[in-house]
């Protein structure tokens, strides 16, 4: 019974001795007291947290769902629970699930990951135990080195990184930063070369022109590295090939982004004023290459024991390509406007 000394009838207080709905206008507030036999007297006021649904800053076309456990049995249990969640909440936001799995769950040795665009697709993958693209594996050792490999000319293509530019803020900011820094040297927006309005021969030739190829590749490689770093993937080793060496040098702190872009763009402009030429890669060792290489061509690079690069004038490269074809030697023309 309540204390008879307390005049509950003429006060806003009452003893809640039955289960009742807590209906109020505004946020709920409560006081909690702690009285200990040793003289403890603590009181805390709690207020209801008003949950607001935040709209995602970006919507990725595909979500990465990492799953891990200590054993295969436990992993299968996690998969079943995840599938049950998807089946019960078919309209749920897959991005929220991906974020929770990536940031709030411990990483154990038995792992699996799923790529999906929506909850139904994720549920179907979890149901299909024979899906070879989502088989589990056991991590026995965590790699202690992370390498960023940065390619050179010949790896470019129109609209490279366009989806990342549209959907990843860090990538877009990095591309925009490079484009603005290049305006003084190139006198044009490099984004119009990388992301042309029309995909035609003129656009292909513009990107192949070394005057634009070099700053375009640098921009995309730099932006991609910044995106990986923003995801927590920090390189311990940086290795660049040709143009990629300049990106690697900047990432390693050798020179600033402004200096790197100015050097790369001026280099491209100077090379573009020279006579044009062609390059091709051929799968052959250097010694054997010299035996069939005409004097009109040069060995530009020896990339590995059985991979060399040849450079020279366009017509001479075409003739040599015919020789390689007759000898059944694999080769590939490099998409560049000049021979290096």
Sequential DSSP letters for 111-140: EEEEEESSHHHHHHHHH-TT-GGG--EE--
Confirm if 263 and 314 have CB atoms less than 8 A apart: no
The C-alpha torsion from 115 through 121 and 124 to 128, rounded to 10°, is -30
Where are the strands (E) in 63-109, listed by range? 63-69
Please list the residue range(s) of the chain that carry CATH number 3.30.70.250: 278-333
Please give the biggest Cα pair distance in the chain. Answer: 113
Distances (CA, A) of 125 to 66, 132, 175: 13, 10, 35
pLDDT at residue 185 in the model: 94
Give the closest residue to 87 by CA, choosing from 50, 124, 51.
124
Residue 280 pairs in a beta bridge with 310, 333
pLDDT of residue 130: 64
pTM for the predicted model, two decimal places = 0.74
Task: Give me the residue label for tokens 């990843």.
Answer: 168
Tokens representing residue 21 in the block: 């709905």
SS3 category, 207: helix
Alpha-carbon dihedral angle through residues 280, 281, 286, 288, given to the nearest 10 degrees: -80
Beta-strand relationship, 41-47 and 29-35: antiparallel
Q: Is 3.30.70.250 the CATH number for 278-333?
A: yes
Q: What is the pLDDT of residue 135?
A: 67
The pLDDT value recorded for residue 247 is: 97
Residue recorded with tokens 């436990």: 74
- What's the helix, strand, coil split of the chain in %, to 5? 45, 15, 40
Q: Identify the pLDDT of residue 107.
A: 86
Q: Please, are residues 210 and 193 in contact by the beta-carbon 8 Å criterion? A: no
Please enumerate in sequence order all residues whose Cβ is within 8 A of that of 115, keeping only pairs 6 or more positions apart, or say none. 62, 63, 64, 65, 133
Fold of 147-272: Malonyl-Coenzyme A Acyl Carrier Protein; domain 2 (3.40.366)
**CATH entry, 63-138, from 3.40.50.720, 3.40.800.10, 3.30.70.3290, 1.10.3720.10:** 3.30.70.3290
Averages of pLDDT over runs of 10 residues in the chain (340 residues) are 85 85 89 86 92 74 90 90 90 88 88 89 81 69 89 91 92 97 95 95 92 96 97 93 94 96 94 90 94 94 92 94 93 88
* Residue ranges, CATH 3.40.366.10, the chain: 147-272
Instruction: Please give the pLDDT value at position 144.
Output: 85
What pLDDT is attached to residue 151? Answer: 93
Domain with CATH 3.30.70.3290 in the chain: 63-138
């Amino acid at each position: 019974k309540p204390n008879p000394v307390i005049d509950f009838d003429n006060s806003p207080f009452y003893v809640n001795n039955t289960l009742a709905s807590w209906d109020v206008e505004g946020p709920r507030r409560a006081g909690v007291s702690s009285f200990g036999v040793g003289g403890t007297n603590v009181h805390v006021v709690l207020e209801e947290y008003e949950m607001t649904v935040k709209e995602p800053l970006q919507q990725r076309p595909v979500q990465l769902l990492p799953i891990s456990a200590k054993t295969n049995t436990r992993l299968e249990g996690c998969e079943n629970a995840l599938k049950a969640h998807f089946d019960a909440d078919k309209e749920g936001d897959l991005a929220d699930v991906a974020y929770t799995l990536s940031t709030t769950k411990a990483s154990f040795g038995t792992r699996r990951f799923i790529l999906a665009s929506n909850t139904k697709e994720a549920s179907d993958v979890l149901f299909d135990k024979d899906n070879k693209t989502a088989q589990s594996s056991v991590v026995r050792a965590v790699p202690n080195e992370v390498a960023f490999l940065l390619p050179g000319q010949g790896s470019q293509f129109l609209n490279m990184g366009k989806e990342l530019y549209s959907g990843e803020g860090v990538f877009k900011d990095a591309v925009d930063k490079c484009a603005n820094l290049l305006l003084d040297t190139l006198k044009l927006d490099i984004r119009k070369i990388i992301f042309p309005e029309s995909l035609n021969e003129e656009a292909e030739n513009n990107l192949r022109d070394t005057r634009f190829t070099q700053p375009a590749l640098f921009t995309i490689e730099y932006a991609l590295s910044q995106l990986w770093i923003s995801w927590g993937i920090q390189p311990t080793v940086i290795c660049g090939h040709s143009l990629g060496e300049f990106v690697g040098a900047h990432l390693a702190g050798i020179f600033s982004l402004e200096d790197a872009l100015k050097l790369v763009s001026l280099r491209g402009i100077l090379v573009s004023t020279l006579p044009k030429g062609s390059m091709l890669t051929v799968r052959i060792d250097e010694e054997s290459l010299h035996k069939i290489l005409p004097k009109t061509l040069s060995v530009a690079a020896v990339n590995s024991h059985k991979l060399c690069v040849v450079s020279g004038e366009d017509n001479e490269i075409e003739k040599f390509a015919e020789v390689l074809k007759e000898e059944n030697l694999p080769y590939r023309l490099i998409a560049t406007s000049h021979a290096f």
